[in-house]
């Protein structure tokens, strides 16, 4: 639980930061790929600008949530020798903690019938 | 192909340019990636096609940079400031000495900024002040009137192509009586369009305004200045509509001017405004028509330019008017030419404006030198501190901090220091300016001098800007040094701190600069002190010691000529009877005061040369005993006597200079001269003297008897063997027994009058300010030198320990240290002497009786500065020898 407290210290995350961490959850990506991934998954509703993204990356790197990786997933595709980023175990825990925080809020809202429960449940 | 290539390179160039907005570190870490991402987005948008998509992308990029880049800078600033404040808290002694040094230097700067702002920049508190210009008569001599007559003003107003309007005002002193209490106040007589031209309304009631069908307003109405309304009447609105007595004449208060209006007198503050049509109430003895008399030049004229009109255009148009006047009225206007300048250039008067601007620029320049020394001192302190932080810097560099980042950190630290220093300095500056204002205001009770040296937001912003600038400059020095130093070497320097040749050289240079600049300041101060000395040594042509002055204005009680003369006579007799009073006499204006009279004089017969112009001479109106009282030697003829009364032919006494000008090598006694149209018989000749200022070239002077002029106000000069302060109460008593209603003012020693008047006041002020700056400079420089020597001695403690253990005596060590620091002093003084000679050249016009290269000043200052430098070095040197050599060695 001590490690959880460490992750809790980063909360709450800003939505763009959370999106960035989630985008890296299934594999290393470079900056442009993160932007595209976030846009695709949110169907264009969240559009990270490049400056904002690199400011987030910078802070997340300083905080040890992500690291730059030397491995290139597919050298043939990587024409411009971009930098790739990887989620660290701490980053993973922080993202999970943030999502847990959001879930508890959603749960609270449902209990008060602010939003309906999904029908399948 | 080449077109596409150009397009791409344009895109890339733009992207790169935008990236420059980001902090250095951010660019270094992510610049390339960011650029690639932007390029990729650009490619995609181009592929999607359509200018719309590209346009949207560029807007997005621009918006992104504008929001993200400042946020990144701010984050670093916050981080650095927090770090800087933590670091400063860890070294409180350093922080305190740096802040004090800065506060000292910057309070001088803030004060000078306030003066320069008041003198040259602060706009009038009127509508669109930048449109306001000053119109005055250009005059050859300082004693000729630059003001404008009412009729001339109306002619200039007719130049409607360039001027929206022109208004005049004329200052008067009056006694205002309400509810039995009388005040002596400053009042502006204003033309009826004065308030409308300036765009000033009333806080309550109404202001003076033009009325259709009336050529001028002569109603006895009064508009109070807002500040006078507040201090004298406690902002009581019921004053409007009440009747007050001005010089015994009833006036109705019709309103109070708006609160923001501070008047149009730069050095005085008017308490009230009355229509110029009531002129005669304030000028007993004038019998003409002030609205027709073109020779009665009484108005200071301000005009409002039409939108878009330049000064040059206005000058051209008004020159035509002036030429017409010169043609139509040759007797009064043949030499008239107009001086048209922005209002800010005509402070305090159009003639004195250029001089005052030069003087305040010179003082501001000297204050800038103080600031430079301060900056050098701060840089030196920072370098000394950096040296001890060498390992911290090396560690951070080794851990990956970029040098640019460290430089930024250093500059942030020194800016933080100077902003704190500035925050301490501003209240000191405000306080000093308040004292200076009181000093100036106390110079004379006859005129309510009230210069506004307030520290407003402009001054505050400028001072803060200078603080940040000084911080950046001072912070760059240690930062530069860090850039040059070797990381590995610093890491090895086990706790001893770093000493690189570059750091040492930089510090020595800074000390040399400080010594040189403070020498320059001291030389300037020395020259002004010598100037004051010379001014005091000037033969004034009379003996000011043991003279007491007291002034009164019986005309303010509405006394006519006869009543005034009777008053003067009775007061003089009472005073002459006071024990210890040897002799006493009235004089209209004591010599070398702020006010004085002059006249254009011609001998009779007038010289035949058609190009001959009557010269301007000083005119004094004096009682029969004046020459004896002031100990002015009678050279020829007789002094005034009882028979020189209004009933008999008008007479005059001239000085030797005037006699020599008109009748070289002949006796003027029994001859006639014309002074301002009065024909006067010369009955005597007195020795020359100084009349308007001590620096004047020998000036012709004439004196007229009090009984033939009957001035509305005068001062009595009393020669006594008693202490002047003891006689004062007796003098007041004598006045009140003659007429308790006539207020007595300005009871002061003649020497005080000279100190505060045009005789010595400018010299005293200049000597005081420049000596103050010189003192600050030398204090700062000696702190700087002391700091450096102390540091070097600390560095060499082990060497000294070894030498003393090997038998060297304290004197050897001290000599060694002094030899070291003495070189800086010598080089600094040499550089300073050259610099001083250059600066002194610029001061030439402001010095009196002293060459800008006065050897005495240069030698004395150099010797003094050398002594101070030696002292600043001896103290740390002695401390070094007091250490126990064995303890020092053991510390190794």
Rounded mean pLDDT, A16-40: 91
Q: Is-contact B516 B832, C-beta < 8 A? A: yes
DSSP labels, B610-627 = TT--PPEEEEEEE-TTHH
C-alpha–C-alpha distance, residues B404 and B47, integer Å: 39
pLDDT confidence of residue B654: 96
The rounded distance, in Å, linking the Cα atoms of B621 and B680 is 13
- CATH number reported for the structural domain that contains residue A78 in this entry: 1.10.10.10
CB atoms < 10 A from the CB of B320, how many?
A: 10
Which DSSP symbol is given to B299?
A: B
The domain total for chain A is 1
How many residue pairs bridge chain A and chain B with CB atoms within 8 Å of each other? 50
Collect all residues from B whose CB is shorter than 8 A from any CB in A.
22, 26, 29-30, 33-34, 36-38, 40-41, 60-61, 63-65, 67-69, 71-72
With CA atoms as reference, report the closest residue to B188 among B236, B245, B246. Answer: B246
For residues B562 and B721, give the distance between their C-alpha atoms in angstroms, rounded to a whole number.
Answer: 32
Residue B742: φ, ψ to 5°: -85, 115
**Cross-strand pairs, B256:** B204, B224
B41·A50 Cβ contact <8 A:
yes
Residues of B in contact with A55 (CB under 8 A): 26, 68, 71-72
What per-residue confidence (pLDDT) applies to A88?
94
* Token pair recorded at residue B13: 């160039």
| pLDDT confidence of residue B739 | 85
Predicted-assembly ipTM surpassing the 0.85 threshold: no
Cβ contact (<8 Å) for B37 and A31? yes
In terms of Cβ atoms closer than 10 Å to its own Cβ (0-12, 13-18, 19+), residue B330 is: exposed
Say if the Cβ atoms of A51 and B29 lie within 8 Å: no
**Burial group, residue B210, by CB count within 10 angstroms (0-12, 13-18, 19+):** middle
Q: What is d(CA A30, CA A17) in angstroms, rounded to the nearest whole number? A: 15
Shortest CB distance from B37 goes to which of A32, A55, A58? A32
Alpha-carbon distance A5 to nearest alpha carbon in chain B (angstroms): 25
DSSP letter, residue B1: -
Best mutation target, A50, A61, A69, A79, to test chain B (most B CBs within 10 A): A50
Q: Taking chain B, what is the end-to-end CA distance rounded to the nearest angstrom?
A: 72
Probe site for chain A from B36, B63, B78, B79 (most A CB atoms < 10 A): B36
**Token pair 């927090």 in the structure block, residue:** B82
Per-residue pLDDT of B73-116, as tens digits, reads: 888 888 888 888 888 888 787 788 788 888 888 888 888 888 88
More confident position, A77 or B683: B683
DSSP secondary structure letters along B39-69: HHHHHHHHHH--HHHHHHHHHHHHHHHHHHH
Residue segments in chain B with a per-residue pLDDT below the cut of 50: 1-2, 142-143, 445-446, 488, 494-498, 892
Q: Count other C-beta atoms under 10 Å from residue B847's C-beta.
A: 20
Cα B462 to Cα B104, B117, B470, B640, B736, distances in angstroms: 17, 10, 12, 59, 52
Domain encompassing residue A58 = 2-111
* B176 three-state secondary structure: strand
Beta bridge partners of B675: B601, B678
pTM of the model as a whole = 0.70
Tokens read off for B590: 């004591």
Q: Where are the domains of chain B?
A: 2-90, 139-336, 355-537+761-890, 547-756
Handedness of CA B857, B861, B864, B870 (dihedral sign): negative
Instruction: Check residue B455 and give its pLDDT.
Output: 73
Out of B29, B34, B72, closest to residue A50 by CB = B34
CA distance A16 to B762: 68
CB contact under 8 A, B64 and A32: no
List chain A residues with CB under 8 Å of B34.
31, 50-51, 54
Q: Residue length, chain B? A: 892
- Note whether A48 contacts B: Cβ–Cβ < 8 A: no
Longest dimension (CA), chain A: 53
**Orientation angle between helical segments B403-441 and B353-388, nearest 10 degrees:** 140
- Cβ atoms of residues B107 and B422 within 8 Å: no
- Per CB-CB distance under 8 Å, the chain B contacts of A50 are 34, 37-38, 41, 61, 64
Contact predicate B861/B771, CB 8 Å: no
Contacts of B799 (CB under 8 A, 6+ apart): none
Task: Return the bridge partners of B323, or none.
Answer: none
**Pairwise CB contact (< 8 Å): B38 & A50:** yes
Taking the C-alpha atoms of residue A14 and residue A20, their distance in angstroms, rounded to an integer, is 10
| Residues 6 or more apart in contact with residue B851 via CB below 8 angstroms | none
Which of A40, A51, A57 is most worth mutating to test chain B (most B CB atoms within 10 A of its CB)? A51
Shortest distance between the Cα of A94 and any Cα of chain B, in A, equals 22
A35 touches chain B (CB under 8 A): yes
Q: Is residue A117 part of a domain?
A: no
Q: Is B450 helix (H, G, I), strand (E, B) or coil?
A: coil
**CA dist., res. A111 & res. A103, Å (int):** 12
Looking at residue B449, the DSSP 8-state letter turns out to be B
CB-neighbour burial class of residue B361 (10 A; exposed 0-12, middle 13-18, buried 19+): middle
């Amino acid at each position: 639980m001590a490690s959880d407290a460490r992750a809790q210290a980063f909360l709450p995350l800003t939505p763009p930061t959370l999106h960035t961490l989630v985008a890296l959850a299934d594999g290393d990506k470079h900056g442009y790929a993160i932007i595209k991934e976030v846009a695709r998954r949110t169907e264009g509703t969240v559009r990270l600008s490049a400056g904002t993204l690199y400011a987030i990356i910078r802070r997340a790197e300083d905080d040890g949530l992500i690291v730059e990786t030397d491995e290139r997933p597919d050298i043939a595709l990587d024409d411009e020798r971009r930098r790739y980023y990887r989620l660290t175990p701490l980053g993973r825990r922080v993202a999970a903690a943030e999502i847990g925080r959001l879930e508890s809020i959603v749960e609270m809202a449902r209990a008060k019938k602010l939003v309906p429960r999904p029908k399948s449940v | 192909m080449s077109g596409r290539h150009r397009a791409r390179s344009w895109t890339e160039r733009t992207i790169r340019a935008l990236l420059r907005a980001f902090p250095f570190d951010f660019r270094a870490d992510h610049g390339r990636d960011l650029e690639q991402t932007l390029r990729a987005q650009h490619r995609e948008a181009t592929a999607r096609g359509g200018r719309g998509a590209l346009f949207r992308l560029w807007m997005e990029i621009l918006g992104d940079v504008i929001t993200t880049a400042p946020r990144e800078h701010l984050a670093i600033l916050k981080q650095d400031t927090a770090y800087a404040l933590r670091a400063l808290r860890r070294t409180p002694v350093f922080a305190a000495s740096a802040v004090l040094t800065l506060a000292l230097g910057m309070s001088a700067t803030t004060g000078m900024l306030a003066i320069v702002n008041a003198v040259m920049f602060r706009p009038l508190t009127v509508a669109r002040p930048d449109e306001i210009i000053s119109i005055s008569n250009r005059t050859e001599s300082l004693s000729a009137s630059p003001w404008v007559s009412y009729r001339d003003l109306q002619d200039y107003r007719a130049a409607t192509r360039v001027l929206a309007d022109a208004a005049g005002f004329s200052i008067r002193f009056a006694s205002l009586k309400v509810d039995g209490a009388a005040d002596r106040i400053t009042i502006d007589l204003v033309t009826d369009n004065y308030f409308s031209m300036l765009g000033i309304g009333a806080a309550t009631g109404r202001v003076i305004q033009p009325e259709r069908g009336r050529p001028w307003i002569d109603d006895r109405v009064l508009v109070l200045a807002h500040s006078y309304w507040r201090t004298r009447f406690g902002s009581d609105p019921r004053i409007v509509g009440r009747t007050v007595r001005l010089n015994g004449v009833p006036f109705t208060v019709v309103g109070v001017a708006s609160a923001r209006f501070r008047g149009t007198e730069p050095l005085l503050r008017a308490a009230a405004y009355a229509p110029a049509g009531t002129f005669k109430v304030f000028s007993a003895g004038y019998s003409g028509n002030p609205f027709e008399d073109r020779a009665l030049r009484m108005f200071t004229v301000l005009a409002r330019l039409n939108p878009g009109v330049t000064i040059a255009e206005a000058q051209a148009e008004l020159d035509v008017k002036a030429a017409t006047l010169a043609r139509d009225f040759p007797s009064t206007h043949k030499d008239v030419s107009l001086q048209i300048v922005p209002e800010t250039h005509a402070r305090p008067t159009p003639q004195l404006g250029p001089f005052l601007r030069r003087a305040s620029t010179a003082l501001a320049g000297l204050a800038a030198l103080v600031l430079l020394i301060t900056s050098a001192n701060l840089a030196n302190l920072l370098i000394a501190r950096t040296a001890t932080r060498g390992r911290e810097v090396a560690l951070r560099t080794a851990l990956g901090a970029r040098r640019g980042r460290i430089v930024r950190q250093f500059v942030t630290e020194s800016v933080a220091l100077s902003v704190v220093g500035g925050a301490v300095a501003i209240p000191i500056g405000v306080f000093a300016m308040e004292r200076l204002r009181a000093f100036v205001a106390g110079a004379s009770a006859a005129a309510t001098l009230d210069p506004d040296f307030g520290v407003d937001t402009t001054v505050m912003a400028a001072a803060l800007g200078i603080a940040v600038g000084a911080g950046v400059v001072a912070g760059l020095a240690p930062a530069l040094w860090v850039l040059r130093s070797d990381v590995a070497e610093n890491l090895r320097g086990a706790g001893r701190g770093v000493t690189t040749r570059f750091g040492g050289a930089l510090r020595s240079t800074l000390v040399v600069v400080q010594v040189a600049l403070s020498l320059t300041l001291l030389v300037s101060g020395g020259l002004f002190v010598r100037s004051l000395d010379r001014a005091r040594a000037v033969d004034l042509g009379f003996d000011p010691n043991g003279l007491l002055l007291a002034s009164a204005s019986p005309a303010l009680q509405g006394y006519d000529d006869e009543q005034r003369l009777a008053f003067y006579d009775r007061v003089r007799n009472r005073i002459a009877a006071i024990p210890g009073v040897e002799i006493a006499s009235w004089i209209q204006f004591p010599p070398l005061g702020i006010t004085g009279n002059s006249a254009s004089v011609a001998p009779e017969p007038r010289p035949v040369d058609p190009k001959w112009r009557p010269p301007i001479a000083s005119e004094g109106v004096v009682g029969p005993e004046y020459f004896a009282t002031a100990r002015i030697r009678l050279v020829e003829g007789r002094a005034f006597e009882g028979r020189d009364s209004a009933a008999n032919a008008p007479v005059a006494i001239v000085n030797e200079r005037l006699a020599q000008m008109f009748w070289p090598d002949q006796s003027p006694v029994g001859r006639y001269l014309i002074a301002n149209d009065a024909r006067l018989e010369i009955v005597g000749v007195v020795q020359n003297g100084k009349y308007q200022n001590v620096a004047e070239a020998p000036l012709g002077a004439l004196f007229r008897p009090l009984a033939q002029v009957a001035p509305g106000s005068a001062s009595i000069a009393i020669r006594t063997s008693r202490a002047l302060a003891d006689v004062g109460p007796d003098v007041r008593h004598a006045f009140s027994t003659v007429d308790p209603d006539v207020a007595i003012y300005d009871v002061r020693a003649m020497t005080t009058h000279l100190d505060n008047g045009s005789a010595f006041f400018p010299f005293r002020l200049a000597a005081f300010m420049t000596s103050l700056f010189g003192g600050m400079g030398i204090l700062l420089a000696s702190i700087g030198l002391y700091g450096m020597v102390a540091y070097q001695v600390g560095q060499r403690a082990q060497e000294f320990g070894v030498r003393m253990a090997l038998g060297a005596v304290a004197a050897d060590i001290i000599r060694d240290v002094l030899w070291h620091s003495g070189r800086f002093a010598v080089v600094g003084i040499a550089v300073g002497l050259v610099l001083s000679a250059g600066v002194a050249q610029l001061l030439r016009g402001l010095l009196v009786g002293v060459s800008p290269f006065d050897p005495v000043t240069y030698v004395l200052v150099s010797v003094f500065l050398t002594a101070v430098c030696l002292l600043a070095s001896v103290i740390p040197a002695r401390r070094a020898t007091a250490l126990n050599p064995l303890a020092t060695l053991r510390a190794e």
